[in-house]
Amino acid sequence: MSTRQTVSLGDINLSYLEWKKGTEPLLLLHGLADHGGVWSSLADALPSHYHIIAPDLRGHGDSEKPKTGYQFAQIIQDLQGLMTHLGWDNAHILGHSWTGKLLPMWATQSPQSFRSMILVDPFFIGRIPRWFRVTFPLLYRVLPFLQAMGPFESEDVACAIAQQLKQYRGWSPLQAQVFRDSIEQQSDGTWRSKFTPEARDGVFEEVMHIAGLTQPLSIPTLFIKPEGGLNRSAWQMQPYYTYLTHLTVQEVPGNHWAFLVEPDAFNQEVAAFLAKL
């Protein structure tokens, strides 16, 4: 079972879930518009020797939501502050989607912080042309994780819409809990995501302008490649094979949110990789 904790990092209060089973440190980072609770199935499934932390990143979940400060450098600073608070010199670190792009950047700057790295279907590892920015308004309307932002007339309406989205299709107890934990009622009675437009816009700007892999990294790395995920082509995978010198690629069933739609298979692959280390 997890407990909810909060740490003050100077300019922000960061909320996180903690599974304090053992002492081996494992940091789990969610993707855009999600929260630390998406890793509850994985954390419960892992062996008892792990000390697992799953933060809500700034602008997400129960953490504070400033108007600015969504650059990769600031997020990395938040995470280094969290690790210092925990007394961790290093950890196994997992990132999904845009945090799968953040991790190689962090590892390039501070390789000593990583025992291993797990990249779950990263989002746009390279630099994106600036003209692509004109498509952002369209992406905001069609991307499944952004369609769950609301507003919704009621919690029941929100849940009905969520069940049509890829990450919640099947509406398992895990999926239902993750979605309900991602929304909150507003003063006008409507329901909205806890994720903010400022976080959305800031992260998208960073993802577009900065390359995630720029030099070789020797950290043991697992790339989890869902069958219906984003990274289906050889050209998308090439940067990982080029720069990650101790890379394992493992295909799993499911889509971009394999940990929600096919959690058993996903959990087994993460556990197997960590066990080998």
pLDDT digits (tens, 9 = 90+) for 172-204: 999 999 999 999 999 999 999 999 999 998 998
- Has this prediction a pTM greater than 0.85? yes
Phi, psi of 181, rounded to the nearest 5 degrees = -75, -10
Residue 94 is inside which H or E element, if any?
strand 91-96
Following CA atoms 19, 25, 31, 34 in sequence, which dihedral angle do they give, to the nearest 10 degrees?
A: 10
Give the helix/strand (H/E) hosting 27.
strand 24-29
Q: Whose CA is closest to 115, among 99, 94, 91?
A: 91
Reported as a pLDDT band with limits 50, 70 and 90, residue 142 is: low
- Residue 101 half-sphere exposure toward CB, CA atoms < 13 A: 26
